[in-house]
Amino acid sequence: MAVSKHHNRYRSNEHEAAEEDWLMSYADMVTLLMAFFLSMLSVSHIDPVLFEQMKKGLRSDIGKDKDVKTPLGEIKHDLDSLLEKERERGDVTIDMGREGIILEFSSSAVFDPGKAEVGASARANMDKVTSAMKGIEYYKFAVDIEGHTDNVPIKTLQFPSNWELSVNRATNIVKYMIEKGIPSERLKAAGYADTKPKAPNVDGDGKPLPENQARNRRIVLKIH
């Protein structure tokens, strides 16, 4: 009878050891996968959102800290800090979604009315953006720059319509970011005039809504 109990204890210990070996092997495999995907960053540009989800998922699976630092997360943290005063004034909003980090600068915080020159305010804001991007040297972020206007027509020799104005504003920001060291192949400019308003430019009677028009005049940067 004693031999039987000893045998049962031996089999129980053996079973527990086998379970522990399986868990250790699984953790090792996940760690190796993590190292593999990180190494891929040095040779390719992957979807930043999927990358962040992958990192968080892997860390959660092996029971480590769920508050994982990721490239886009670190950039957003830096931007929140660098642009703190601008955010408090309402000059910029910073969000992170499926398209990456989205910064929306009010037009007045970047350009003079009806102008597309990159002035002092625009340079100061773009310097902070490029500084945050260059802080993560191993990750090659791309940036889409969009120009948006309200529905008030413009007709000057330089800008026959809001299309030219919105495109020139986005293009000039691209040029400035190139001067600050961001490779041109990672940048894209687009102008949408008044075709993508955040809010109606006019009310039901066709009367202008100045507050909404101000919201619609904006420069959008999508970092991904």
Distance CA 188, CA 199 (A): 25
Residue 136 pLDDT level (bands cut at 50, 70, 90): confident
Q: Determine the topology of domain 71-223 in CATH.
A: 60s Ribosomal Protein L30; Chain: A; (3.30.1330)
Q: How high is the mean pLDDT of the chain?
A: 83
Residue 138 above 80 pLDDT?
Answer: no
Residue 20 above 70 pLDDT?
Answer: no
pTM of the predicted protein model: 0.72
Closest Cα partner for 144 from 206, 191, 76, 199?
A: 191
Comparing 136 with 8, the larger pLDDT belongs to 136
Axis-axis angle for helices 120-134, 71-82 (nearest 10): 150
pLDDT tens-digit series, residues 36-82: 666 665 555 555 555 555 545 544 444 454 455 788 999 999 999 99
Q: Which amino acid is at 124?
A: A
Residue 6 above 60 pLDDT?
Answer: no
Comparing 167 with 135, the larger pLDDT belongs to 167
Q: Which distant-in-sequence residues (6+ apart) come within 8 Å of 178 by Cβ?
A: 184, 187
Q: What residues does each domain of the chain span?
A: 2-61, 71-223
Residue 216 above 70 pLDDT?
Answer: yes
pLDDT of residue 111: 95
Q: Residues 28, 29, 34, 36: what is their CA dihedral angle, to the nearest 10 degrees? A: 120
pLDDT of residue 21: 60
Q: Which DSSP string do the residues of 126-175 spell out, in sequence order? A: HHHHHHHHHTSTTS---EEEEEE--S-----SS-SSHHHHHHHHHHHHHH
pLDDT tens-digit series, residues 151-174: 999 999 999 999 999 999 999 999
Q: Residues 24, 25, 29, 30: what is their CA dihedral angle, to the nearest 10 degrees? A: -30
Distance CA 196, CA 180 (A): 29
